[in-house]
Structure 1
Amino acid sequence: MSSAVSPLAPTEVPEMPAIAGVKLATAAAGIRYKDRTDVLLAVMDKGTAVAGVFTRSKCPSAPVEWCRAKLGGGKSSKGSFKGNSKGGFARALVVNSGNANAFTGKTGRQSTALTAAIAAKALGCRPAEVFLASTGVIGEPLDATKFDGVLGTLAGQAVPGEWMNAAKAIMTTDTFPKVATATVKLGKARVTINGMAKGAGMIAPDMATMLAFVFTDAPIAAGALQSLLKSGVEDTFNAVTIDGDTSTSDTLLAFATGAAADHGAPKISRAGDPRLKAFTKAFNAVLADLAEQVARDGEGARKLVEIIVEGAASKASARKIAMSIANSPLVKTAIAGEDANWGRVVMAVGKAGEPADRDKLSISFNGIRVANRGARDPSYDEAEVSAAMKNPKIQIKVALGLGKGRDRVLTCDLTKEYIAINGDYRS
């Protein structure tokens, strides 16, 4: 956990209301560092629906495999998430920081089973109703016996509304806790959506060394929740990259307690239910808020970078080109140096392997067009552009002039601090 808060951190933190059917508690279990809060327990009421999406890494962590199995999504022969889970039911979520429990073999699988068993005993539920997530160093065994006693204590201490403490407990190199909330009508009742996330490095779709958890009191069946989640991540978490490195541990879980049914909220069994329109918009807004906070907290970041590609052959093509720009170390270091180096953007467009025509290409930085139709813009003013590049948020817009495809991704600059953080991460 970094001591200096990112200059891109949100200036205001929302008040996080309690959600009926969810209780939270945190503790220091000594997973990696002594006296650091590193365990989160979320306790959900019986009947809480759960859905999840995970990393596409071919080397997933033991907790990722545990959750996939409990959701019924399984894995393909290559280990990537199929995304066809029907969802399930959850009574508990256990998250630890300091150790990713990834690349830990049989020991890692035993650790997940033991953690779930300890939590299940503490709560009086089945291990299959316990969901797990871990973040931290890869390749070191996780001593799950450290959860023994701790989870039992947390089960008795869990209370509604402890969202900020929960968000802090899952941080690693993050410089600030990431939370978001929304309230929206479902039928005649008001329902709440709360989310928290962690992630600052090893961030690239699908998704990142990123953990995110979303909770709602809306009565939404697991299958419908899974559809909402899978759709919602595409233009939020899957459109964020910090460094192009996809983690072993990406986990995004959504929980719906259904408690709002007691206040007249209709029970939703399918994602296409027209009554879900406003809820879906609010749900996606929470995901988008959290995803942007991850980009704002990129390791060593000093600039939030929005990349818009339009006029592409298709949305998918625009996404690939945008990611090529966002993941280019040359583009990212130029932004860190406040240099509107459109030549590096041209390079990144050209290497993406997608349809592009050099002589139709236009590039803008923060609304100032610097290149047009394959050459420097005739009205280019170095002083004007240099002043614009000093802003904490930089928008790069690329117009390809080929079609109607458009997409947007978020990233950050690449500074010396990123190297410093990752050069001694294990120490």
Structure 2
Amino acid sequence: MQEEESLSFNEIRGVRLAAIASGLKKNLLDLALIELNERAVCSAVFTQNNFAAAPVLVSREHLKSKSCRYLLINSGNANAATGDEGIRTATRCCQSVAEMAGVMKEEVLPFSTGVIGEPLDYQKIQDAIPSLFKKLAGDGWTDVARAIITTDTATKISAREVEIDSKKVKIIGIAKGSGMIQPNMATMLSFLATDASLERDLSDQILFETCEKTFNRITVDGDTSTNDACVLVSTGLSGVDCNKSPQLELIKQGIFQVMRNLAMAIVKDGEGATKFVEVRVKGGKSKEDSRNIAYSIANSPLVKTALFASDPNWGRLVMAVGKANAAIDTSKIDIQINDLLLMKMGQIEKNYTEEKGSVE
């Protein structure tokens, strides 16, 4: 198992983490706990899938309490399509953590990922919680990154230091995801923390806007998971107030870099993926039109097969652009792969050859 990047640091002040093998998966880390300091600010975005899993529903409700002390994450079972029993199980898991920590159950957010439709084994989680608390440590990010993966072939972790007011502010993020990747308002599962100080409203805004620019701009298979969630925690223990510019802009850029790295890692680890492709659309009448054209290209099975085979069949790109739900003037369309121009003003570029196309 390889980490996505080498970390120059592996702790965020105010965050402790642990991961163990509870038995939900065979002989693998599958249960994680993240503890946050009392004054930590927690923001989250969740899947828009109508079949949102039980932990998503419970986390949404608990987040209304404005106080979050623990994140409980399991892999191996999604606790999705499990009805009221699934909600009761997720709530009981929160209650078990709360009783051990001496907090309210609403201060615990549950997250699950794995097989859909099977009941989550509450007993295995309950039995493992004391061991999780004993293992809590500041340098547990890598173990937690391993514990949350399912079909992933690699862990996904990214970190950045940002200098603000002559102090080093730290950001660490982890993610999992390989299939069911076309998020809508969130990602598969991702957890980020910074020791910057952010107010809740600003934290919410940063997370939403950055998700829109990163996790909401990726696709592997065009499917949105039932369990997608992305969490941003700010502990404030760096002593750096980032609630006003220019500090706000600096922390936003650092968080963007971490989330972009994680989003790219998810695509590169996509189930069956052999190539990483970035689609850029410029000059659309609106952002929505440009986004629709980009996804029409990225999700096209015919485009994917051409890319897989390095087949210079640029007509498939034309097809994908043309079928997009967008206002398009075909006489003004240019299509380019890297530095190679294929189409100019709606017609094949006169110097283009298939030999050049296959190289790109």
TM-score clears 0.5 = yes
**Aligned-pair Cα RMSD in Å:** 1.7
Distance in 1 between the 2:233 and 2:159 partners?
14
Q: TM-score, normalised by structure 1?
A: 0.81
Q: Deviations over 1:213-258 (max 9, x none)?
A: 0011112122221111011111100000111101111100111112
Shift of 1:364: 1.2
Alignment match, 2:26: 34
Which amino acid in structure 1 is aligned with residue 32 of structure 2? L
Match of 2:40 in 1: 48
Out of 197, 203, 213, the position equivalent to 2:191 is 213
Provide the C-alpha distance between the structure 2 equivalents of 1:189 and 1:110, rounded to a whole number of angstroms. 45
- The aligned length equals 360
Measured in 1, the distance between the counterparts of 2:79 and 2:187 equals 12
Q: Render the CA deviation track for 1:144-179: whole Å, top value 9, x for unaligned.
A: 121113111111111111211111111111111001
Find the counterpart in structure 2 of residue 369 from structure 1.
341
1:195·1:212 contact (CA, 8 Å) conserved in 2?
yes
Aligned to 1:422: none
Any stretches of 5+ residues in structure 1 without a counterpart?
73-86, 389-427
* Residue from 286, 293, 314 that aligns with 1:342: 314
CA distance, structure 1, for counterparts of residue 89 and residue 126 of structure 2: 12
Contact 1:199/1:208 (<8 A) preserved: no
Q: What is the aligned partner in structure 2 of residue 60 from structure 1?
A: 52
Secondary structure of residue in 1 paired with 2:212 = coil
**What is the alpha-carbon distance in structure 2 between the residues aligned to residue 178 and residue 121 of structure 1?**
31
The reply to whether residue 322 of structure 1 matches residue 300 of structure 2 is no
Residues in 2 aligned to 1:145 and 1:170: alpha-carbon distance in whole angstroms: 19
Letter aligned with residue 331 of structure 1: V
- Secondary structure of residue in 2 paired with 1:234: helix
- Deviation of 1:209 after TM superposition, in Å, equals 6.5
Specify the code of the residue in structure 2 equivalent to 1:184.
V
What is the CA deviation profile of residues 14-35 of structure 1, one whole-angstrom value per residue up to 9, with x for unaligned ones?
Answer: 334211111111111111x321
1:132: Cα distance to partner?
A: 1.3
Question: 1:37 is aligned with what amino acid?
Answer: L
Change in CA separation of 1:176 and 1:308 when aligned onto 2, cut-off 3 Å: same
Aligned partner letter, 2:349: D
Q: How does 1:57-206 map to 2 (within 5 A)?
A: 57-72=49-64, 88-206=66-184
> Which one-letter code corresponds to 1:355 in the other structure?
A
Q: Is the 8 A contact 2:71 2:108 kept in 1?
A: yes
- Whether 2:355 is the aligned partner of 1:383: answer yes
Structure 2 partner of 1:284: 256
Runs (5+) with no aligned partner, structure 2: none
Tell which deviates more after alignment, 304-313 or 214-223. 214-223
The answer for the alignment partner of 1:393 in structure 2 is none
Deviations 1:86-119 (A, max 9, x none): x822211111111111110011001111110111
Report if aligned partners of 1:49, 1:89 keep a CA contact under 8 Å in 2: yes
Could you tell me how far apart the structure 1 residues matched to 2:259 and 2:295 are? 19
1:425 is aligned to none
Q: Letter of the 1:368 partner, please give it.
A: L
